[in-house]
Structure 1
């Protein structure tokens, strides 16, 4: 939601989106009506139709907004260099931390959207955002395909799956760790790899 919106309108849009997610969690999007949403949000139908054409318009706008914020959280700063990304295996990049913080701030949305009553294809949209960003980072690390040890796309697909997998695990288990902890484990997987991390320190 735009920060330029009147605070009262922002509150209205917030209660509408909260009502949508709550209802989706209970019975799935297909079984929800506009009347259900307005009743749960405690607003009249005229107020709903001031902002949305129907429940599909609401869902599309809400999902687009969250994907935009998810993308922005993962965005690289201007003048980014690979040394800014990987300082060491225990220092996660700010973009990793921001992304987990964003998900924590909107945990119910992501849990519902990625769950059984969520939106088909939503995980693919998240995957696309992650994959595009990681692909860009590999180009910064090594722009020449003939200098990499394996096809770039295989590397990007592997780390994308790991990245999204950690996010989904975290949500499925009610976020038992902090965003910084999760971002740190993610960068350790990037730098050290799963086989190395399974080795005993003793």
Structure 2
């Protein structure tokens, strides 16, 4: 859950987690449109009155859970305040903490991401992730080189390419049941961003 719930009574936090987990499980089984509040409360082991203490309906639940998760996803990727171009890591074997945090966040909530990005997930969810990544990479590109005239090709093309690669790596990791650690994945992502796919193939052999 998001930081907004950090000061909430532990019993309420547990109830919210039960509701969220029940909803995600039902989403995977039959899709959002077929899930009812009764389904959720029965799966969570709570009564309907308890559900309505926290959410107006299943659409309110959807909005709040997704918003919370996207807030966490964005926060994990966020650069520290005062970050400057000189702070960028030049070593492609040393990923920035923000890249590692993003994979750690996804690993912590892997079931949620697998369901939301799967065949019974929400069509617009991938776009929200993509938008967060794109905004962050745009911000990083401006820090690295604020002058568009010094960029070798249109900035939006670079960012769009990098966003697709970034999201593709995340999707691969999830689709293959996270065979590598968050740090390993973050390192490979830095190599792709820094070297490009062509230079990563050893053609000297």
1:191 corresponds in structure 2 to 194
Counterpart in the other structure of 2:113: 110
1:145: how far off? 0.6
Tell me the SS of whatever aligns to 1:4. Answer: coil
RMSD over equivalenced CA pairs, Å: 1.0
Deviation of 1:82 after TM superposition, in Å, equals: 2.7
Match of 1:64 in 2: 67
Residue 34 of structure 1 pairs with residue 37 of structure 2:
yes
- Give the total of aligned pairs: 202
Residue 80 of structure 1 corresponds to 83
CA contact (8 A) 1:112 1:118 kept: yes
State the partner residue of 2:97.
94
Residue 83 of structure 1, CA deviation: 3.5
- Does residue 177 of structure 1 match 2:180? yes
Residue matched to 1:122: 125
For the pair 1:161 / 2:156, whether they are aligned, the reply is: no
Give, in whole Å, the separation in 2 of the partners of 1:140 and 1:25: 40
Q: CA deviation at 1:27?
A: 0.8
Q: Is residue 141 of structure 1 aligned with residue 144 of structure 2?
A: yes
Shift of 1:168: 0.6
Deviation at 1:84, TM superposition (A): 2.5
Partner Cα distance (2:108, 2:21) in 1: 13
Q: Is the 8 A contact 1:70 1:99 kept in 2?
A: yes
> Which whole-Å deviations, capped at 9, do the CAs of 1:143-185 have from their partners, x for residues lacking one?
0111110000000000000000100110011101100000000
User: What is the TM-score normalised by the length of structure 1?
Assistant: 0.98
Q: How far apart are residue 120 of structure 1 and its match?
A: 1.3
* Structure 1: gaps (5+ residues): none
Q: Which one of the candidate residues 47, 50, 72 is aligned to 1:47? A: 50
Unaligned runs of 5+ in 2: none
Q: In structure 1, what is the Cα distance between the partners aligned to 2:136 and 2:9?
A: 33
Whole-Å separation in 1 of the counterparts to 2:50 and 2:87: 47
The answer to whether the 8 Å contact 1:84/1:93 transfers is: no
CA distance in structure 1 between the aligned counterparts of 2:30 and 2:172, rounded to whole angstroms = 23
Measured in 2, the distance between the counterparts of 1:161 and 1:132 equals 13
User: Counterparts of 2:87 and 2:181 in 1: how far apart (Å)?
Assistant: 22
* CA positional deviation for 1:75: 0.3
